[in-house]
Structure 1
């Protein structure tokens, strides 16, 4: 008898073009995709058809040990609060997009909230395979390929 695995879940935090591409491709790759957008003014119209659901709170996305959480915008003021919440949960993997040549603003935001350095180090940045991604579509492809490699214990993962 084969042991049934829990479904893979991808939580894309913040409505963005990258989140849209993660949802489109993620569903095709077998992820349950949840968009978390805490600011309803950022949602343009009804939720798109590419994704299982949209919620306003990370806890409502029900992250567990089969969940990968990715913040798709590093300029939003909520990054510290949302990452602290993700770190307190059971998510398998947590990351935030951004330029690998600069320290991410999430580091200072988490420090300011009193998050210990070992917890801050759990946040992956950069994310995805190092393919020189520039567009939201390329970023989504790189991230999803990296998550699959990481999940399967393959070296393609996140080395830069």
Structure 2
């Protein structure tokens, strides 16, 4: 007979002795890319309802068939939504981010090298977005695990989102 781990609910969940908490979460991957594909695939396993936001109809047509694709931020984005921009070189970056910032999403981030100012800052400034709103955009995203491939980048990004959602620093600090 299985022992219930009343002192550690996470342990009981890990052993299949208690149901895991279900949370309403949305993951919006912005721009079709290999990283977006892995984010949405792995995010589904983590309980996220995934959406690909791809404003380019040709690129949207090539998206995975099992993921909803939208060309503009969907209605109803709220505090349960995490948004990850997977390409900071796209010309649509500024307008897409501006439109996303109009929603009360929980978290929004843009992938990119943290040693350089993200191009989103200038793009949003040029569109008249306030500094306060621009500051809502996180960069870099994810945990620093030395990611090099799209699956590793997606894994690090999702781990960072979970750490942030749970108020944890990530890494090996407990």
TM (normalized to structure 1)? 0.88
- Aligned-pair CA distance for 1:33: 0.3
Deviations for 1:102-142, whole angstroms, at most 9, x for unmatched residues?
11100000000111111111100000001111211111000
Aligned-residue CA RMSD in angstroms? 1.7
Structure number with greater Rg is 2
SS in 2 for 1:127: coil
The count of corresponding residues between Structure 1 and Structure 2 is 151
- Aligned-pair CA distance for 1:55: 1.1
- Aligned-pair CA distance for 1:86: 1.2
SS in 1 for 2:40: helix
TM (normalized to structure 2)? 0.81
- Aligned-pair CA distance for 1:56: 1.2
CA–CA separation in structure 1 for the residues paired with 2:82 and 2:73:
12
Structure 1: runs of 5+ lacking an equivalent: none
The answer to whether the 8 A contact 2:81-2:107 is kept is yes
The answer to whether the 8 A contact 2:23-2:47 is kept is no
Runs of 4+ in 1 over 2 A off after TM superposition: none
- Aligned-pair CA distance for 1:43: 3.1
CA–CA separation in structure 2 for the residues paired with 1:5 and 1:88:
27
Deviations for 1:14-47, whole angstroms, at most 9, x for unmatched residues?
00000000011000010000001110111354x4
